[in-house]
Amino acid sequence: MAATVKKNRICVSIAAPSVDAALAAAKKAAELADVIEIRLDSLSVPSVRPFVDGVPKPLLFTCRPKWEGGQYEGEEAARIDLLVEAVRAGAAYVDIELRAEEDSRRRLLDAAKGSECRVIVSWHDFKVTASAQGLGKVFQQMYRSGAHVGKIVTTAREYRDVLRVLNLQDEAAEMEFPLIAFCMGPVGVISRVATCGLGGYMTYAAPDGGAATAPGQLPVATLHRMLSELAHAG
């Protein structure tokens, strides 16, 4: 019997200044989330173990540096130490940027070998969406990076930006490369929903009543309802 392929995978991003606040938000979001992202860069004292022990959902750990829209300003080696700790503690996913030093990516990929943890290599543009050629170059670099899952997220200024990003999923499918692809911003909101029906590996939501970690994130209850209604349409 063929394995069931998970569709409409929703990741709820949790960013809070304290472990207690983040843990409470993660537990609350767990009912509707398939994956919980813990933004270690938002924590005043980053910690991994409380989430692994206390959240009954697959966890994604991210420690986003300032240069890619996050809050982390410390040493690169210490940042990677946190992500390696997450791998060893049993995280389902860890995220590292395509723009990160190659040694950092390699260290994380090596740590994940022999484990069930998947390394997401991500690329964000908080200003615009590149041309089709530019996006294609980013995709090829990501594919060659050794990523288990790729993530390309841009900022949409018009509907053509959305189409260019979602079109990456066609190439990803041909190459059998799991890809997260959607757009930020008001124009990009539709892509956060559409990506699931077009083969996207995962989409991201904000916790209900909590702060979004990127422009255009929908509350998880809203996104869950929209995806459920689309799945049963017709």
Encode the chain (234 residues) as per-residue pLDDT tens digits: 233 335 669 999 999 999 999 999 999 999 999 999 999 999 999 999 999 999 999 999 999 999 999 999 999 999 999 999 999 999 999 999 999 999 999 999 999 999 999 999 999 999 999 999 999 999 999 999 999 999 999 999 999 999 999 999 999 999 999 999 999 999 999 999 999 999 999 999 999 988 888 888 999 999 999 998 888 775
Contact 211, 198 (CB under 8 A): no
Give the Å distances, CA to CA, from 71 to 78, 158, 178: 14, 28, 27
3-state secondary structure of 89: helix
Who's near 125: CB < 8 A, 6+ residues apart? 153, 154, 155
What's the CATH fold of domain 10-223? TIM Barrel (3.20.20)
Looking at residue 6, the DSSP 8-state letter turns out to be P
Query: Active-site residues: which are they?
Result: 124, 151
Q: Where are the domains of the chain?
A: 10-223
DSSP 69-86: TS-B-S-HHHHHHHHHHH
DSSP state at residue 151: E
